[in-house]
Each structure stands twice: as structure tokens, then as C-alpha cells.
Structure 1
Amino acid sequence: MSRRSWLWSALAVLPLAGCTASTPASPPSSPAPPLRLVAFDSCAQLEKELRAAAELSSTAEQGGARLAVPDNARAADAGAAPGQAAPAHSSTNVHEAGVDEPDIVKTDGRRIVTITGGVLRVVDTASRAQTGKLALGLKAYGEPTLLLAGNRALVLADGGGGPMLREDTRIIRPAEGRSELLLIDLSSVQPRLISRYRGDGRIIDARQQGSTAHVVIGSGPDFQRPFRGDTVPENVMQDDRNTIKATPLDAWLPDWEITTGGRTTKGQLDCAAVSRPDSFSGLRMLRVLTFDLNAAELGAGDPVAMVADGDTVYGTDDSLYIANNETWRFNTAASGTSRIAPPDGTNIYRFSLPPVGKPAYVASGKVPGRLLNQYSMSEWEGHLRVATTSWADDASAVRVLRERNGKLTEVGVAEGLGKGERIYSVRFIGPRGYVVTFRQTDPLYSLDLSDPEKPRVTGELKITGYSSHLQAAGENRLIGIGQEADAQGRPQGVQVSLFDVSDPAAPKRLDQHVVAGGQSEAEADPHAILWWPATNLLVMPVADAKADGALALRVTGDRLRDVTRLAPAVASAGPMRRAVVVEDVLWSITGEGLLATDTSTLDRVAWVDMR
């Protein structure tokens, strides 16, 4: 790929140097200043600063900035349909109880709603039959997910993430595209599309409290670049400057269209509604949309917008945190291929979520290093705990932040975790925290966070392999899901570990199950894990050379028992993706069907074909 191609890829995501074009960037070693969110004085100021930042980024980037896919990527029941009691059922796996997260499967106990191949399907759990389906007609890139509230579903289809070839055939860069939100009515046998929202940018994530969904979307400027066969850097850079100067403000302001019942309305973000952090900004536009799933139709989402980057979302019942994690950015400075310095930290923005109305910005802060995912953040008793790994030496730390006068200020830190390693999983449970780092062995660190100003490491357990997710499994028990590894740190297969953390000074592993050569979607996406505490049942997808299905096991005392491999009824059904429980039936979901088994015996009771 040409040097210019990477320049423009970086141009859409590089941060502003400061509040204005004349403010120099702080050196990476400087202490991270607190942040505030302030409004632009005018639309002219917004345009001036965006243009100046673009020129600054263009001038600074003379090497090749590389992009990588982020390391990354549920939920409390939103309630059964009005007037109907929901059967006992599980939710899909989420970070915080009562805060739902988008996923490919949802259930309210009476029905299971899935999305695969751009088709939404509904399965009745009583008759164990597919009762309806709806082709969604999606144009957006990426696997769609959904949220469920009563007789309504909200489908989210990401518009970004794939490469797009421009008119200059030498240039390939990530495409923003247009994301889609679809409001679906499930009150009748056949699902019905109510409204479709299509807007600029990619869906970063969403959270749902009750029937209200908050959707976070990020978009970049749309530059129209001229083709130039001349690849002399100075000429290319001048082309870039000319293009930036000629680009109108509208290129930064995302627009959208909403179609309901054959009627389409269009809109664009008002420049007067855009704010920015006072000591950090970016070329991207971050906006939070709010939708009531019980509304008659979708609106524009009453957007809250700011000029900033963001790619990690964490939500509680009354707060929404967005972090500009930047794990996708490579540090090419050390190799001399780029002048881009690694990020000096992660900015975090907190929004309050009122019972009625749109989110309100509350505070911002900055922590050194990078996050792993949303589980790296946790709010407890007015404090935000954050686990990060340093860009400089791969040492990790847990910091405790407290809101003071609109700033998330550090009040305590526990440092020195796994130097030379990086974080593979994090779990905060009340006043305690657990962090797994890995390079060749897996230290599981136990932390006491009861005193926010004096967080401390209390214990450490070194074992082979690592856990990429830690699942709470009752009092003083954790289940680790990841990979076993040899003495050199090379993965050997999926492992499930049962940990006893009753003694903070001496966590220990009680039992372990390994699927040699196996892999699981649950290693990267915790949504794929089912933990059903009523019967201590753990289910997750596992594939190896022999089978591609689900692994089910039970926690019995100090042991992992009744290990069973579940397979779909037909070989062409595809891999197991998710599992949910409704009353005494375990439903394992593939792309083409649902396997129903008895939760006690795991014997097959039905197969629902969705082909």
C-alpha cells in the first residue's frame, strides 16, 4: 500500500493537538491534564479548528501509519410483553446486571429472537417452532445485533469496519459507511419493520436500560481526494493541504435519513450542537443517540455530539462511559517508519443517564496506558476503577478515579502488575478486582479496592496459559475461559479453570478442563458464554478438529463435572454461537437452527430448523 494511502487512513483518526490550532501537543511524558467538555464559540470556530487539525495531522504524518482491527468486541431482561408473565429464563451475558448489551440472540422467555444472514427470526419456546421471520434488507457492513424490550426489537447494523477501494486504485482505507438502526414490531406472528434509521459512521456500541437504548456512533470527515500519479512526498502533502482547505464544514457533520411507512425524512448534525474536550479533541465526531423502543417510530435520536475519538463503551444503570481506547494504533515510531507517537493515555468521558431525556455530559478524565475492553472499567460506590497496560513497558496498573468538579481525578493506584506482559482479562466484583496478565505464564492478581485511595495487590497465582475472560460463579468463585499454553507461552487449546478466591492473599485453581487444539468464540466475546447459576451450568461454543458445537459443564463443589459436547442435529447447521435457558430447557443457537436439550440431563428434546 502506498505511503499516501496510509496517510489518509491516519488522517481520519488522528487526534487534535489541543483546543486550537496554535496549541502545541503535550509531550507524552507530561502528566495527563483533567478534561472538560466545552462548546465551540461558533460554527466558524469549529470549522477552523477541524481544518487546522487536519492540516497538522497531514504535515506530521510523512511515514506510514498502520491501522489494525481493535482487540476487542447481553443482558438483563427488558421484560415480557405487557400482561404476560415471563417464564424463568436466562439473559445473554453482560457486564452489569440490569444493563443490556446488543447481541445476535435475545429472549424474554416466551420467545427467542435471533439474527443471522440479515434475517430476523422468532422461535416460540412453548411450541418449539419458528413462528416468524423478516428479511431486514440491510446495506450496512458487519454482523447485525439486536436489543429487545417487550414487543419491540431494535436491530443495530454497523456501517464501518471494512476496506473500501476509492477512485484512486492505489488507495484502500477503512470505510465509514452508513450504519442502520431498525425498529421492529413483534406483537404479531410475523415481525414488522416500523422505522429504519441510516446515518453516517460506525456503531461503536450501545446500552439499554428498560425500554431506552443509547447508541454510540463515531464518524470521520469525508474528504474527496484528487488522483495524482506523482508520488513525490512534498507534492502529495501539498495536495492534501489543498484538499483540506477546500473541504466544507459539512464534511465533518454526519447526516442521516429515517424511513417510516414509505415516508423518508433527512437531517444533519447542527454545528451549534457540537462540543469538544478542552485538552483533547480529534478529527472524528462522536455522538450518543437515545431511542425509546416503545415509541411509535424512530426519530433522530436527539444526538449529543463532541469532537473526539471513542471505541470502548461501558454502562451502568445511570452512567455511560466512553473511552478513546486507541488499541488499534501501532507504535511505528520505534522502527523509524512513522513520526506518529504512541498514545500517551486513554481519555474517558462520563455521561449521566436521566430517567427521561437525553444523556448529559458530567465529567472527563485521562489514565495512562490502554484498556483491554469494557471489563477494564467498573463503577462502584461513586468511584471508577480502570485497568490499563502501559504502551512503554507493558506494565499494568489499576487506577481509581473520583469525580471532582467535572473531572475524573485519580485518587489511588496499584501499579507493577505483570511487567513485560499485557492484560488478558479483568473482572471487578464489588470491592475486589482480578487481573490476568500473560506472556509465558498467567499471573492471576487479586486486588483489594475497598479503600479507593489505597488499592493494593493482595495475592498472585501463576499457572500456565491464560484466561481471556473471568466469569463470576457464585461467592468466592471465578471461572476463567482462555487457552492452556506450554512453557514457552504457545497456546495448546481451550481451557476452563475454576478458581477459589476466598483468600485474597492466595487465589488458587481448583479444577481445569482443556480441549486440546480447541478454540472458542467466548475467548474474544463474553456474550458467547452462558452461566446459569440455578444449576451451576456453564455453556460456551468450542470447536476443534473433531467437532464444532458447544461445551457444557457444571460446577459441583470444587470440581468441573458432567462435561458434555453438544452438536447440532444437522451437520450443515454451522457452529454453535450462543446459549440461553428457558425454564428447564437449554437452547443452543446456530446460524441455521436451535438445539433444545434438557438442562438436567442434557438429552436432546427438539431441533428447530431455521433454514
Structure 2
Amino acid sequence: MKRAAATLSALCLVLSGCTATSSDLSEVARSGPGPAPALRLVAFDDCEELAKGLRKATMDAVGPWGFNTLPGGMRTTLNSGAVPEAQAKAAGGDQSFSGTNTHEAGVDEPDVVKTDGRRIVTLARNRLVVVDAASRKVTGTLALDGASDSAKPAAGADRLLLAGDRALVLGFDYSDPQGGGPLLTLVDLAGAPRIVSTYRIDGALLDARQVGSVARVVIRSAPRLAFLDHSKFQDDEARLAANRSAVAAAPVEDWLPRWTSTDAAGKKTDGHVGCGAVQLPETYSGTSLLTVATFDLGAAGLGSGEPVSVAADGGIVYANGPSLYVANDQRWRVNGPLVKRAGPAPDPKTQLFKFTVAGAARPKYAAAGEVPGWLLNQYSMSEWDGRLRVATTANDASAVYVLEQRAGALAETGKVGGLGRGEKIYSVRFIGTTAYVVTFRQTDPLHTLDLSDPSAPRTLGELKITGYSAYLHPAGDGRLLGVGQEADEKGRVQGLQVSLFDVHDLTDPARLSQFQVPGSGSEAEFDPHAFLFWPATGAVVLPVRGEQPSALILSVHDNQVTKAGSITHPAARYTQMRRSLVIGGTLWTLSDQGLQANDLVTLAQQAWLPLV
């Protein structure tokens, strides 16, 4: 039976539309106290068979007071990360400009501001604002608040993507008294900004990626189960029995995310993820579904999103173009606020789900797997030559794993461990067949790894210095920039630091220069979208928190990092700097008060555009 079930699972991965039997469900619907190997996925055309599996797994996960936590019902902020920002040519001209600092070239990520070199599009207090870069004037605004049943979406817009004359605004619908959900708004920018379509779906927005005009949006959702009033029961045993009865009676629709799409005329189309579009991993809890929806920003409307789902939790999204991965470490099952445990905590593990994507077609399930430990963020993953490299920390020991797809599984081909024993990973950077890993507890070892042989990755060098780098950025010519915190010999942080490393010789990495701002920090430490490196002039721009918030401009020249100046906005003491971008010879900085234009070289102010 096990061999038959495995064969059926492999066929389901290829055909993505077979129907499993109840006997197969017993093989794949087990639920343990922590994450377990997820080497198979099973699809169901029959909704009742899918319901049986989901009910069984959910019943095992429910407690007297419901779930330990409802990860799919909580709103999460977008994960973000960065690699050198792409330089492009403005439409109709030869002006170079900086795009969003993204993880992979050619794969855009949502952020609070976007530019195509001709205009700047940003969000300010639930308004979309369009600025003409040449005239340095606001040319259009669009309110993004209103009832969810109107042509305007509800408040909560916080990120956007840009493709040609279209912007996709990512937000949250707070108007739903039952909890709301992710809200996408497609805006046409050809003239005065106008809404052409909206899309709402149950759950929480994890992240999104865009290639060309096509965006993939990843959502996490919890089942909509109607648990009874717990105060009416005298003991936990009665509460647990009532909760399990509610799960047993729930229809399959209570697990399937519902979506609503509207067009420019306000016409609604409703639906939900189909049973045949849901797959079950080998082990799952039934408390969450991961859904990937696809939208062509150049289309007349957002449509259904062609959603596909996996019965799993997840929190980290990585994509390189042809592949999209979602990592699920299930740490809420280990560290949740209501977790009760008699023995030691299970070893940390992370499940990985891979989708293949092409054009505007629906994503296809490709493979699933598991690695020991937990990931820091999306930079902990990188696909190279068809193999996924993953950096994790487990019980204060870190390692890098190399996985390749084999018959629907992400199988380990090699690993290198022993990175910073007793320490945790603070940043990771994969560049080609090389990996840079920073671990920290009291000092900051920068580890250099050779991954050219996927069956035998190895550590080449290590540099121990005080403090740590929370973000690493290639600076060209065998150099690496690090942004993080300086620390004393006991590991107590002292303030923002930017380091320039020489990594020409991977066996002997060295720090060439360091710049410090005592008692301060930067958003770029945890959101690299806030980091700007402009190779043409060697400029590094960072928002700096402190007594006087500002945009710090550094110069990287002759193996030195020096201060070139700083930019403040009006009412600087009360202003949070957020982003910076370059268009031609102008440096634009964005704060929560407005946009400012300064000369890129002299830093002389050219324009101030209040946005509030």
C-alpha cells in the first residue's frame, strides 16, 4: 500500500488532477507535534475525500481553546530582501535609474515606492501618488479608502508593483467584520489614476513576486471554523470534544479561501479555490493553506487569479523567475503562546514547497522537501543551476544544504555544517557558487563557502570581528558591503555600522573599511528595500534612525567607506526616512512626510513635495 500511495503521489505531481482514495488519505494525513518530512503531495478532485483529510488533520491540531494559534488568520508584513538593484533605461529616453533593491535580477518585489525612470509612484496615507520625475511635480493622486463593495477598496494599502501604465497595490480589507483579507487593487496610470479592478481573498498576504507584467501573490489562510462559546463548558475535556465536533461537521468550503473580483464597472465575480487545486503534503496540520494567485497587470482585470493551494503553513517566499518557493518552519507549533509540552521541544525543521511558473500560466506544483533548522529570511534560499541552497540555524548550529528535485522531492545532495557554533545566522548572501554567511553571538564571523560541487560544499574562510552584518550586498570587484550593528567584546550593540569586505581570496576574507553611527540603526538592517547602492558614483544611501532621522550618503572609493553627506526633510525630528532612488542625476528620498529631490553629486536640494 505504501508503494502504491507513493506512486499515486508522484503521478499527482505530474498530472495535478488525480483523485486519491480514503486509504491514501490515511497515509498522508498524519499530524505530529512538529514539522515532518514533506516529500509527497496528493491532489483530490473529489471534494469529500479532500474534506476527510482536512478534518482529520485539523482535529489532531485542535485543542480545548481552539488552535494553539491561527497563523493564517493574522496579518503579516511582507518579507523582503535584496540583491543589486537593476539599472534600466527610462521609457523613451536614455536616463538610467535605480529600481527596487531585489533578491534576484529580473524578479521584482513589492515596495512602498516604484519608478520607471519617468515617474515615481508611491503610497501615502491610503492614497496613491504619481510624481513626474522631470518636472518634479505631483501629477496625480488616487484615494484608496472606501467600502469593500464599492469601486474603491478599503484602507490598508502598503505595497505596490509597477508594470508599464499599471500599478498593483497590495493591501488589506479592514471593512469585513469577520476578519478581512488581502486586497489587491489594479490601477491604470495612463491618464489620471483610476481603479480598473480589485481582488479580495481570505487570509493574510505573505509576499508577491513579479516577472514582466505577471505577478504571483502568496496568501496564507486559516479555516473558517465556528467553534462554540468556550465559557459554556466546565472543563477542557468538554471544550475539546465540542471543538472536534465542530471540525467534524465543517464542510470542505470552510477550508477553501474565498475570493471576490470586481471590474471597472463594479461588477462582482465570486469564487473559491477549487478542490482539485488543493494538494496535501505528507504531513500537515490542517490549520493553514498556502495559496498562490497569478495576475497579469496588463490584462483588462484581475479575474480569478487562477489560485492553487497546498495544505501547509508558510512565512518566507523566494523566487528566481522559473521557480517559486515557500518555506514553512511551523515554529508557531513549537513556540506558540498556548503550546503545552511535557518533554523537550522537537528539533526545528523547515518544510519547503516548490512551484514552477511560466508566463501568465497557473503555477504547477513541482516538489516538496525538508531541512533541519529554521531560516532567517528569503536570503537564506537561492536556486542555482536548478538546485536550491538553503542556510539554516538549528539549536545554535548553522549549516547550508544543497537540494535538487527528484521525482517530486527536494532531495539533499550535500551540506556543510559547523558554521558559528553557539551562534545564530544574522545574514546570508548567495552569489553564484559562493555563499557568505554571518553568524553572531558576541563576535561576527563572516564565513565564505564554496558551493561549486553540489555534493561536497565546503567552508573556505572565516573572518572574526566585533558586531555583525544584518544585510550583505555585492559591491563589485571582489568586494562585499555589510550593514548592521557594531558591538563590544561582550556582544552588546553600539550602533549602525557599514563595512566593506575584501573577498577576492575566499580563504582569507578581510575588512577594508568601516563607518559607524553610534547609537543609531537603519531600516535597511531588516528590510533591504531601504538600501541603495549606486555603482556609477559609488554612493550608498541608508535611512538612519536616531535623534536626527536622515538619509545617510556614503561613498565607496579606493577601498574606503566615507561619509559624503546626509539629507533631512522638513520637520526632520518627527520624520521617518524610508527609501531612496536615483533618476538621472537626481537623488530622491522618501519619508513619511514627502519626497525630496537632491543633486546626486552636490546634494543640493532641488524640490520638496509634501505627501501628507
Q: Structure 2 length as normaliser, TM-score?
A: 0.87
**From 242, 247, 250, the counterpart of 1:244:** 247
Which residue in the other structure is 1:177 paired with? 180
Alignment of 1:111-190 (within 5 A): 111-137=119-145, 144-158=158-172, 177-188=180-191, 190=192
Which residue in the other structure is 2:50 paired with? 46
Task: Report the Cα distance in structure 2 between the residues aligned to 1:120 and 1:333, rounded to whole angstroms.
Answer: 38
Structure 2 letter corresponding to 1:457: T
Residue 360 (1) aligns with residue 361 (2): no
Task: Report the Cα distance in structure 2 between the residues aligned to 1:22 and 1:331, rounded to whole angstroms.
Answer: 25
Q: RMSD in angstroms over aligned alpha carbons? A: 2.9
How many residues are treated as equivalent by the alignment?
A: 575
| Kept after mapping to 2: 8 A contact 1:19/1:280 | no
CA deviation profile, 1:115-166 (whole Å, cap 9, x unmatched): 1211110111000111111011166675520000110000111469x9x9x9
**Cα distance, 1:355–1:128 mapped onto 2, change above 3 Å:** same
Which residue in the other structure is 2:5 paired with? none
Which residue in the other structure is 1:597 paired with? 598
State the 1:20 CA deviation.
Answer: 3.3
Task: Report the Cα distance in structure 2 between the residues aligned to 1:62 and 1:306, rounded to whole angstroms.
Answer: 22
Which residue in the other structure is 1:8 paired with? none
Alignment of 1:390-409 (within 5 A): 390=394, 393-409=395-411
| Kept after mapping to 2: 8 A contact 1:21/1:49 | no
Which residue in the other structure is 2:21 paired with? none
Which residue in the other structure is 2:3 paired with? none
Task: Report the Cα distance in structure 2 between the residues aligned to 1:562 and 1:540, rounded to whole angstroms.
Answer: 11
Alignment of 1:188-337 (within 5 A): 188=191, 190-229=192-231, 230=233, 232-260=235-263, 261-280=265-284, 282-328=286-332, 330-331=334-335
| Kept after mapping to 2: 8 A contact 1:569/1:595 | no
Structure 2 letter corresponding to 1:559: Q
Alignment of 1:460-479 (within 5 A): 460-479=462-481
Residue 369 (1) aligns with residue 373 (2): yes
Task: Report the Cα distance in structure 1 between the residues aligned to 2:475 and 2:67, rounded to whole angstroms.
Answer: 49
Structure 2 letter corresponding to 1:502: H
Give the secondary structure class of the aligned counterpart of 1:244.
helix
Give the secondary structure class of the aligned counterpart of 1:203.
strand
CA deviation profile, 1:211-250 (whole Å, cap 9, x unmatched): 1111111111012222232452212212212222232222
Structure 2 letter corresponding to 1:153: A
Q: Structure 1 length as normaliser, TM-score?
A: 0.88
Give the secondary structure class of the aligned counterpart of 2:245.
helix
Give the secondary structure class of the aligned counterpart of 2:241.
helix
State the 1:36 CA deviation.
Answer: 2.4
Task: Report the Cα distance in structure 1 between the residues aligned to 2:449 and 2:473, rounded to whole angstroms.
Answer: 16
Task: Report the Cα distance in structure 2 between the residues aligned to 1:395 and 1:387, rounded to whole angstroms.
Answer: 11
Which residue in the other structure is 2:516 paired with? 514
Structure 2 letter corresponding to 1:595: Q
**Cα distance, 1:263–1:553 mapped onto 2, change above 3 Å:** same
CA deviation profile, 1:179-220 (whole Å, cap 9, x unmatched): 1000000001x2111011111111111110001111111111
Task: Report the Cα distance in structure 1 between the residues aligned to 2:466 and 2:288, rounded to whole angstroms.
Answer: 41
**Cα distance, 1:142–1:400 mapped onto 2, change above 3 Å:** farther
**Cα distance, 1:560–1:377 mapped onto 2, change above 3 Å:** same
Give the secondary structure class of the aligned counterpart of 2:476.
coil
Task: Report the Cα distance in structure 1 between the residues aligned to 2:123 and 2:141, rounded to whole angstroms.
Answer: 9
Give the secondary structure class of the aligned counterpart of 1:577.
strand
Deviates most, 578-587 or 556-565: 556-565
State the 1:330 CA deviation.
Answer: 4.6
Which residue in the other structure is 2:433 paired with? 431
**Cα distance, 1:54–1:493 mapped onto 2, change above 3 Å:** same
Give the secondary structure class of the aligned counterpart of 2:491.
coil
| Kept after mapping to 1: 8 A contact 2:539/2:555 | yes
| Kept after mapping to 2: 8 A contact 1:395/1:422 | yes
| Kept after mapping to 2: 8 A contact 1:36/1:407 | yes
Task: Report the Cα distance in structure 2 between the residues aligned to 1:66 and 1:273, rounded to whole angstroms.
Answer: 22
Task: Report the Cα distance in structure 2 between the residues aligned to 1:112 and 1:338, rounded to whole angstroms.
Answer: 55
Task: Report the Cα distance in structure 2 between the residues aligned to 1:24 and 1:487, rounded to whole angstroms.
Answer: 48
Give the secondary structure class of the aligned counterpart of 2:227.
coil
State the 1:452 CA deviation.
Answer: 1.0
Which residue in the other structure is 1:97 paired with? 105
State the 1:374 CA deviation.
Answer: 0.6
Give the secondary structure class of the aligned counterpart of 1:473.
strand
CA deviation profile, 1:40-86 (whole Å, cap 9, x unmatched): 262111111111112111259999679897896576579866xx346
**Cα distance, 1:264–1:412 mapped onto 2, change above 3 Å:** same
Deviates most, 578-587 or 136-145: 136-145
CA deviation profile, 1:526-570 (whole Å, cap 9, x unmatched): 11101111111111110112x111111010121112342210134
**From 110, 116, 127, the counterpart of 1:108:** 116
**Cα distance, 1:338–1:182 mapped onto 2, change above 3 Å:** farther
Task: Report the Cα distance in structure 2 between the residues aligned to 1:71 and 1:273, rounded to whole angstroms.
Answer: 25
Task: Report the Cα distance in structure 2 between the residues aligned to 1:416 and 1:159, rounded to whole angstroms.
Answer: 45
**Cα distance, 1:293–1:338 mapped onto 2, change above 3 Å:** farther
**Cα distance, 1:272–1:565 mapped onto 2, change above 3 Å:** same
Residue 20 (1) aligns with residue 26 (2): yes
- What are the ranges of 5 or more consecutive residues in structure 1 without an aligned counterpart? 1-17, 167-174
